[in-house]
């Protein structure tokens, strides 16, 4: 199972600084992904609408790793407004370190984009301490008060 920290940032500059700090900590570069809405997207079919196709695909991919529908919508909305998502995948220790870096750079709390109403999955809790999951169960885990979401998939 993979564990991934996901952070949404208001601007590409902040996301670049996060990646710089991850690089400085020798985080494996092939385990870091940056996603923002592409400026020029080719039409994928007769009825394809590039931005809609991108947003639908992003929402689907986020739900596949354990995001709830409201969370996925919040991330899509954040990217639509010019935000950038940084994904860092790895071991528990690596991902916890990445989450600390992302939170230090003020990862957006998705509750701020949804008005505070998110449907929480079975692995979510309020005021939870850092969680390490080694079981086969997938879903989202979150450390209270932080903007970064952690997914095990």
- Written as tens digits, the pLDDT of the chain (153 aa) is 779 999 999 999 999 999 999 999 999 999 999 999 876 655 555 555 666 788 888 999 999 988 889 999 999 999 988 999 999 999 999 999 999 999 999 999 987 776 655 444 333 333 333 433 333 344 555 444 578 998 887
Nearest CA-CA partner of 103 in 35, 14, 25, 37: 14
Look up the CATH number of domain 3-152: 3.30.70
Q: Which residues contact 33 (CB under 8 A, 6 or more apart)?
A: 86, 87, 88, 89
What is the pLDDT at residue 117?
A: 52
The model carries a pTM of 0.77
| Beta-bridge partners for 119 | none
**Contact predicate 73/114, CB 8 Å:** yes
Can you tell me the distance from the alpha carbon of 58 to that of 17, in angstroms, rounded to the nearest whole number? 23
| Beta-bridge partners for 139 | 152
Torsion of CA 40, 42, 44, 50, to 10 degrees: 20
What is the pLDDT at residue 41?
A: 54
What is the pLDDT at residue 50?
A: 60
């Amino acid at each position: 199972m993979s564990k991934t920290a996901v952070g949404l940032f208001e601007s590409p500059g902040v996301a670049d600084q996060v990646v710089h700090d991850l690089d400085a900590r020798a985080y494996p570069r092939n385990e870091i992904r940056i996603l923002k809405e592409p400026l020029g997207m080719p039409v994928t079919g007769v009825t394809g609408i590039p931005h809609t196709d991108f947003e639908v695909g992003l929402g689907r991919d986020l739900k596949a790793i354990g995001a709830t529908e409201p969370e996925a919508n919040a991330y899509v909305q954040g990217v639509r407004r010019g935000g950038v998502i940084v994904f860092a995948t790895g071991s528990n220790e690596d991902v916890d370190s990445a989450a600390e870096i992302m939170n230090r750079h003020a990862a957006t709390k998705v509750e701020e984009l949804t008005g505070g109403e998110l449907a929480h999955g079975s692995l979510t809790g309020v005021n939870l301490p850092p969680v390490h999951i080694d079981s086969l169960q997938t879903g989202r885990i979150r450390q209270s008060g932080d903007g970064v979401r952690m997914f095990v998939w």
